């Protein structure tokens, strides 16, 4: 006989089976890694077997963008789903900066924590390093890492302003809010971050709690370093060594997830905060994209991006769907069962249909900011620069200049932005100029922090 209680039990069991389990989420963020620096993105000498495995077992993006070509702003966009000019974090922070991500900003970690997730941030935060701006103030249960770039101390900086640079403290390694070490050995950072990350995964899995791990590596940002197991081992010098160690770290994270029995329930997403730095052979490659870090050419913001969740993300898919780091805020939060805040503009959109159903995605629409100022826009295939640096080929002058005549490129058929075609497409130029004007008119800048 079917009683009311057994009916309830049946329907409860059915609901359990019907609702997809909330996945664990692991976001791995490299620093200044270029689009062309991974084996699975075509690098001929840097070997990245673990990242290649992520691509072979998951999804590889070819039109994935960071919201800014600099460290602090790009990270703020990933965390908040908002353009850095909107969330206020539109400058790079230095050790003498007092501010950080405005406290009223809501991060993915805050939303996922509210849903019962364990949350951890390991590595480079770079959204404020004074006590009120560290990760624990933004939804993370724990933090371990260097809170800004690894070239921001008297010992490591190349800043020409010696008076300013010498007033900075030694590079701090922080646990939660306490400085544990000063000027830690940078060749050990990737390994130490990885140990923290895998311990967190094991503990959270054992506790049967869903988890969100934000693993933001210091490498391969200049000055480069790699541990003895990797130093001198790649065919691409110290840069290749550092990327190889990063790849090893990804392998350790995947292995730990699988050994913890969470291999079919953990979304791992890998990307980079901005394109390769202009530091010669100590920087990376943007592949076929033009220029790199600090510029709004494609090489500054078009990033490698891999998504891995065996059983839910199809294996071996290369997608040309347009997506941005801001979309990850929305997607991760909703996968964890959180509602997206309705009291503010969120620029990111849910890309679950791309990830789990290999949908085509939306028409590309991106406003390219270089820290604060707006420099370019992309809509569909077309990209219009209203202000640019390094305009003349082969000239490395990173000062931006407003362009009397905007530059137009079709980045679908000319992804390297080599063939300027404004004169032949005056209507497209007008359309994109008016799009910029509309965007500016409706855009409310955030409370700037420095
Ligand atoms: Mg960076």
Per the structure block, which two tokens stand in for 68? 């800014």
- Look at residues 372, 400, 442, 298 and name the one whose alpha carbon lies nearest to residue 73: 372
- Look at residues 417, 392, 336 and name the one whose alpha carbon lies nearest to residue 116: 336
C-alpha 25 – ligand 1 centre gap (Å)? 22
Crossing angle of helices 325-335 and 71-80, rounded to 10°: 30
3-class DSSP assignment, residue 49? helix
C-alpha 19 – ligand 1 centre gap (Å)? 38
| Predicted pLDDT of residue 447 | 83
C-alpha 388 – ligand 1 centre gap (Å)? 20
C-alpha 70 – ligand 1 centre gap (Å)? 6
| Predicted pLDDT of residue 320 | 98
Per-residue pLDDT of 376-414, as tens digits, reads 999 999 999 999 999 987 778 889 999 999 999 999 999
Name, in order, each residue with C-beta under 8 angstroms of 404's C-beta and a sequence gap of 6 or more.
Answer: none
71: annotated active-site residue:
yes
Strand arrangement, sheet containing 142-145: 178-182, 172-175, 142-145, 118-123, 211-216, 24-30, 266-272, 305-308, 59-65, 317-324
DSSP string, 295-350: SSSHHHHB--EEEE-BTTBPTTEEEEEEEEHHHHHHHHHHHTTPPPPSSS------
Span of 138-147, 172-181, 303-312, 386-395 with lowest mean pLDDT: 386-395
Phi first, then psi: give them for residue 25, nearest 5 degrees: -130, 125
C-alpha 280 – ligand 1 centre gap (Å)? 16
Per-residue pLDDT of 253-287, as tens digits, reads 999 999 999 999 999 999 999 999 999 999 999 99
Q: Are 60 and 251 in contact (CB under 8 A)?
A: no
**Model confidence, pTM:** 0.95
Q: Which of 126, 129, 221, 385 is catalytic?
A: 126
Per-residue pLDDT of 354-370, as tens digits, reads 999 999 999 999 999 99
| Predicted pLDDT of residue 20 | 63
C-alpha 434 – ligand 1 centre gap (Å)? 31
C-alpha 337 – ligand 1 centre gap (Å)? 30
**pLDDT class of 8 with cuts at 50, 70, 90:** very low
C-alpha 221 – ligand 1 centre gap (Å)? 7
Q: In whole angstroms, how far apart are CA 434 and each of 296, 345, 362, 385, 386?
A: 19, 21, 21, 13, 12
- Look at residues 202, 197, 199, 213 and name the one whose alpha carbon lies nearest to residue 112: 213
Q: Which of 17, 40, 43, 71 is catalytic?
A: 71
């Amino acid at each position: 006989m079917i009683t009311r209680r057994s009916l309830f039990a049946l329907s409860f069991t059915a609901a359990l089976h019907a609702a997809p389990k909330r996945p664990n989420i692991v976001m791995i963020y490299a620093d200044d890694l270029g689009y062309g620096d991974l084996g699975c993105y075509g690098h001929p000498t840097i070997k990245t077997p673990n990242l290649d495995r992520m691509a072979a077992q998951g999804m590889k993006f070819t039109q994935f963008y960071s919201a800014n070509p600099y460290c602090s702003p790009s990270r703020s966009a990933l965390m908040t789903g908002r353009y850095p000019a909107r969330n206020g974090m539109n400058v790079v922070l230095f050790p003498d900066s007092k501010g950080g991500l405005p406290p009223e900003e809501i991060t993915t970690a805050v939303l996922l924590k509210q849903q019962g997730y364990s949350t951890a941030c390991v590595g480079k935060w770079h959204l404020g390093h004074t006590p009120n701006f560290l990760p624990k103030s933004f939804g993370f249960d724990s933090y371990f890492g260097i809170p800004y770039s690894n070239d921001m101390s008297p010992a490591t900086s190349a800043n020409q302003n010696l008076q300013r640079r010498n007033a900075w403290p030694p590079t701090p390694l922080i646990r939660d809010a306490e400085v544990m070490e000063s000027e830690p050995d940078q060749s050990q950072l990737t390994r130490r971050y990885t140990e923290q990350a895998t311990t967190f995964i094991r503990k959270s899995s054992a506790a049967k709690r869903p988890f969100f791990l934000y693993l933001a590596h210091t490498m391969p940002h200049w000055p480069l370093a790699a541990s003895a197991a990797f130093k001198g081992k790649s065919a691409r010098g110290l840069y290749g060594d550092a990327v190889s160690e990063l790849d090893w770290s990804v392998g350790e994270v995947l292995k730990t997830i699988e050994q913890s029995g969470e291999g079919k329930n953990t979304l791992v997403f890998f990307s980079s905060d901005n394109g390769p730095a202009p530091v010669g052979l100590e920087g990376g490659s943007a592949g076929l994209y033009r220029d790199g870090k600090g510029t709004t050419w494609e090489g500054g913001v078009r990033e490698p991006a891999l998504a891995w969740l065996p059983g839910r993300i199809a294996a071996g898919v290369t997608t040309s769907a347009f997506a941005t780091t801001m979309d990850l805020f929305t997607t991760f939060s909703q996968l964890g069962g959180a509602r997206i805040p309705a009291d503010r503009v969120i620029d990111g959109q849910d890309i679950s249909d791309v990830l789990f159903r290999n949908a085509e995605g939306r028409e590309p629409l991106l406003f390219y900011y270089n820290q604060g100022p707006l420099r370019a826009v992309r809509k569909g295939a077309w990209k219009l620069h209203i202000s640019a640096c390094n305009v003349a080929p082969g000239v490395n002058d990173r000062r931006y200049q407003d362009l009397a005549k905007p530059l137009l490129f079709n980045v679908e058929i000319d992804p390297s932005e080599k063939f300027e075609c404004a004169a032949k497409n005056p209507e497209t130029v007008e359309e994109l100029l008016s799009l910029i004007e509309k965007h500016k008119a409706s855009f409310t800048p955030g409370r700037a922090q420095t």
